[in-house]
Amino acid sequence: MNRSAPLDALRALAVLLVLGRHFPESAPGGAPLPAWLGLWQRGGWIGVDLFFVLSGFLVSGLLFREYRRFGEIRYGHFLARRGFKIYPAFYFMFGAVLLFAAHAGRAFVGWPVVLSEAFFVQNYGPALFPHTWSLAVEEHFYLLLPVLLLAVRGEKCAPFARLPRLFLAVAVLALAARIATAQMLDFRLKTALFPTHLRLDSLLFGVLLSWAVHFAPTALEQAWQRFRWPLAAAAVALAVPAFVFEIGTGWYLHTVGVTGFYLASGVLLLFALRWKTAGRPLAFIGAYSYSIYLWHIPVRFFGLGWLPREAAPLTRAAAYLSLSIVTGIAAAWLVERPFLALRDRLFPTRSQPVS
C-alpha cells in the first residue's frame, strides 16, 4: 500500500494522545502521575478530533480520486472496502475480550451491550468499552459520506462546489446541538461528546480540506502561504485549553471547544501535507494506529496484572504504553493486514490506495 509518512505520523500523534488520556490509575493511596503525564492525561482526549479530521480527509480523498477518474462513486464498493478495514480487527478484539472475561469468571455483560457494540450503536446505547464510541461515529460517517457527496456533486466543471456550504451548515447545527445539550443535560461524556450528531462536523471538516486539496489547490495554496503562521498561532491557542482544564468543568470544552479542536487539527494536517519527511518511529506507530487504538483499553484492564500494586505511576504508564503498542502491532499482523490483502483481491481500489 502507498502510505504518507507525515500523515502516519499524525495518526501516531492522535493515538498517543488517546493512550495518554487512558493512563492506568495508581493504586489507592499511591503517588499521582507526574505533572507532565497529568497534562497528557487531561488533554489527550482531543486526539479523537485529530483522528476524525484525518479520517474525513483520507476517506473522502479516496472518493474524490475515484470520481475524478471514473466520474462516479460506487457506494457498495466503498462500503465493502471500509468493512474489510474496520470489522475484522474490531470483532476479533471484541470476541477475544468476551472469551477472556468468561474464562476469568467475569459475569456476562448481557445481550443489549453485546448487540450495541456489535452493530456500532454503542455511542447511543449501552457500551462495554469506553473508546469504541468513536468507531460508531466513524461508521455512521462512512454510511453517510457517499450520499452527501452525491447530493452536492453539482456540475462536472465545478464538482462538489456546494460542499463548503454543506460543511458550514453542519458545523453550525452541530455546535448549536452541543450548546443545547450542555444547557439541557448535566455533563456526561455519553451525552455531551459521544453522539454522532454532535461530532459529524469534525469529520466533515476533514472532507472540506480534502475537497480543497483536490479541487481548489491554487486557492488553498495562496491562502496557506498568506495565513499559515497566524493559523498556527490560532491552532495552538485553540488546543491549549484542553490541557489546562479538565473536561466537564464548565461548558466551553465540550461545546465551542470541540469546534476549536477540529479546526486546530485541520491546521496541523495542512502543515503535515507540506512536511518533506516525518520521524520514522512515529510513522511506524501510525501505520498500526487502528489496532493500537482498539487494544489499548483491553491492555489497560487485563494486561497489567503482572505489575505489583505498589509500582510507581511512571512504571505503570510506561508498561501500559509499551504493551498497548506491541499488542496492537501484533494484532494488526495477525488480523488486520491479512484481511486488507483479501480486500484488495476481492475489491480492488478504484483510487490511490490509502488504508
Rounded to whole angstroms, the Cα distance separating 65 from 63 reads 5
pLDDT, mean of residues 114-141: 98
CB 96 within 8 A of CB 109: no
**What percent of the chain clears pLDDT 70, i.e. is strictly above it?**
97
In percent, the amount of the chain with pLDDT more than 90 equals 83
Helix (H, G, I), strand (E, B) or coil at 25: coil
pLDDT at 329: 98
DSSP states along 80-111 = HHHHHHHHHHHHHHHHHHHHHHHHTTPPP--H
Q: Name the band, by pLDDT with cuts 50, 70 and 90, for residue 219.
A: very high
What was the pLDDT predicted at 147? Answer: 94
Q: pLDDT digits over 19-62, tens only?
A: 999 999 876 666 788 899 999 999 999 999 999 999 999 999 99
Rounded to a whole number of angstroms, the distance between the first and last alpha carbons of the chain is 8
Residue 71, Ramachandran bin (φ over 0: left; ψ between -120 and 50: alpha; else beta):
left
Q: What is the pLDDT of residues 285-333, one digit of tens each?
A: 999 999 999 999 999 999 988 888 788 889 999 999 999 999 999 999 9
- pLDDT at residue 159 above 50? yes
Torsion of CA 214, 216, 221, 226, to 10 degrees: -150
Predicted pLDDT at 306? 85
Of 351, 338, 352, the C-alpha closest to 84 is: 338
Residue range 156-181: mean pLDDT, rounded? 95
Cα dist. 93→98, 113, 210, 292 in Å?
A: 9, 15, 31, 11
CB 167 within 8 A of CB 208: yes
Residue (of 138, 140, 161) closest to 149 by Cα position = 161
Grid cell at residue 246: 479538565
- Return the amino acid letter for 143: L
Q: Assess whether pLDDT exceeds 70 at residue 107.
A: yes
Is the model's pLDDT at 150 over the cut of 60?
yes
DSSP 157: T
Query: Residue 278: pLDDT band by 50, 70, 90 thresholds?
Result: low
- Spatial contact of 268 and 224, defined as CB atoms under 8 Å apart: no
Residue 273, Cβ neighbours under 10 Å: how many? 16
| Count of C-beta atoms within a 10 Å radius of residue 230 | 9
